C-alpha cells in the first residue's frame, strides 16, 4: 500500500485499488463571506450559542432566573460546539475510488451523510485532463466590505478580492462529459495527482 497525504488531499493505492480524497473539488473562491471571516468554526460557535440561549430562555420562562441556569447555559454552549463542528458544519470531501478488480470508478461525496454520486465502468473513462478556469470577482462592494471589516480587526486576508486561476482535474467519459475530481490554485499539486491517476488508469 502506497499512501500520500498533503494539506490538500490524500491518495492511497495498491495493485488493484486507488483512493483519492479531497475537500477541493469546486473551482470557486466562495462567497464574499470569506473563510477568514465566516467559517465553520464561527458557524458552530453561533449555532451552539443559539442552542444554549434558547434552552436558557425556556428555563427562565418556566422557573424564573436561577444562578444554576447560567451554568447550564455554559455547559450547553461549550458542550455542543464540538458536536456542531463535527456533525453539522463538517467539511465536505469528494472521494474517487478506482477499482481495477471490479473495473469501475466510484465517486463519493462525504458530508453529513455519505452519498455515492456516480459509478462509472472503467471502460467508459477515455481520458484524464486538466482544465484552467479564471474566477472573476462579481460582487466588488461585498469584497470592499469584507476588506474593511478585516482591516478593522487587523486580520487582512491575503489574496482576497483578486482574480484567481483554478486548475481542475477531470475525468473524461466516452459520451464527452467530464467529472471534476480535484480543483486547486496550485498547478503543481494538480499535476502530481494527474500523474498518479493517469499511471494507475493506464490511459
Taking only the tens place, the pLDDT of each residue in 67-92 is: 899 999 999 999 999 988 888 777 78
pLDDT at 127: 94
Residue listed under C-alpha cell 456516480? 118
Q: Residue 33: which pLDDT band, with cuts at 50, 70 and 90?
A: very low
Distance in angstroms (rounded) separating the CA atoms of residues 101 and 10: 21
pLDDT at 179: 95
Q: Residue 41: which pLDDT band, with cuts at 50, 70 and 90?
A: confident
pLDDT of 126 over the 80 cut? yes
Task: Render the chain in DSSP notation, one character per residue.
Answer: -EEEE-SSEEEEE-SSEEEEEES--S-----SS-TTTS-HHHHHHHHHHHHHHHHHHHHHHHH---HHHHHHHHHHHHHHHHHIIIIISPPPEEEEEEETTTTEEEEEEESSSEEEEEEEEGGGEEEEEEEEEEEPP--HHHHHHHHHHHHHTT---TTTTS-EEEEEEEEEETTS-EEEEEEES-HHHHHHHHHHHHHHHT-
Other CB atoms closer than 10 Å to residue 105's CB: what's the count?
23
pLDDT of 56 over the 60 cut? yes
pLDDT at 156: 55
Q: In what order do the strands lie in the sheet with 125-135?
A: 125-135, 164-173, 178-184
Q: Nearest to residue 107, comparing CAs of 173, 51, 52?
A: 173
List the domain boundaries for the chain: 2-37+91-201, 40-88
Q: Nearest to residue 89, comparing CAs of 49, 48, 50?
A: 48
Q: Residue 34: which pLDDT band, with cuts at 50, 70 and 90?
A: very low
Question: Which of 16-20, 160-164, 172-176 has the least mean pLDDT?
Answer: 160-164
Distance in angstroms (rounded) separating the CA atoms of residues 65 and 7: 48
Distance in angstroms (rounded) separating the CA atoms of residues 192 and 167: 12
What percent of the chain is predicted at pLDDT more than 90? 55
Q: Which three cell numbers stand for residue 82?
A: 464540538
pLDDT of 152 over the 80 cut? no
pLDDT at 60: 92
Q: Which three cell numbers stand for residue 14?
A: 495498491
pLDDT at 154: 62
Distance in angstroms (rounded) separating the CA atoms of residues 35 and 3: 29
Q: Residue 32: which pLDDT band, with cuts at 50, 70 and 90?
A: very low
pLDDT at 146: 59
pLDDT at 116: 94
Considering 40-49, 114-123, 140-149, the range whose residues carry the highest mean pLDDT is: 114-123
Amino acid at each position: 500500500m502506497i499512501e500520500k497525504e498533503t494539506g490538500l488531499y490524500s491518495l492511497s493505492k495498491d495493485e488493484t485499488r486507488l483512493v483519492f480524497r479531497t475537500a477541493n473539488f469546486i473551482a470557486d473562491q466562495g462567497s464574499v463571506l470569506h473563510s477568514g471571516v465566516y467559517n465553520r468554526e464561527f458557524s458552530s460557535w453561533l449555532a451552539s450559542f443559539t442552542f444554549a440561549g434558547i434552552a436558557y430562555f425556556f428555563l427562565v420562562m418556566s422557573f424564573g432566573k436561577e444562578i444554576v441556569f447560567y451554568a447550564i447555559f455554559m455547559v450547553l454552549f461549550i458542550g455542543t460546539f464540538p458536536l456542531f463542528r463535527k456533525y453539522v458544519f463538517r467539511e465536505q470531501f469528494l472521494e474517487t475510488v478506482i477499482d481495477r478488480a471490479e473495473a469501475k470508478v466510484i465517486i463519493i461525496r462525504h458530508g453529513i451523510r455519505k452519498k455515492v454520486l456516480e459509478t462509472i465502468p472503467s471502460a467508459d473513462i477515455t481520458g484524464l485532463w486538466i482544465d484552467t478556469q479564471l474566477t472573476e470577482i462579481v460582487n466588488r462592494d461585498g469584497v470592499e466590505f469584507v476588506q474593511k471589516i478585516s482591516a478593522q480587526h487587523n486580520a487582512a486576508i491575503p489574496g482576497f478580492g483578486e482574480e484567481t486561476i483554478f486548475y481542475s482535474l477531470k475525468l473524461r467519459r466516452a459520451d464527452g462529459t467530464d467529472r471534476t475530481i480535484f480543483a486547486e490554485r496550485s498547478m503543481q499539486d494538480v499535476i502530481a495527482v494527474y500523474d498518479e491517476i493517469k499511471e494507475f488508469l493506464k490511459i
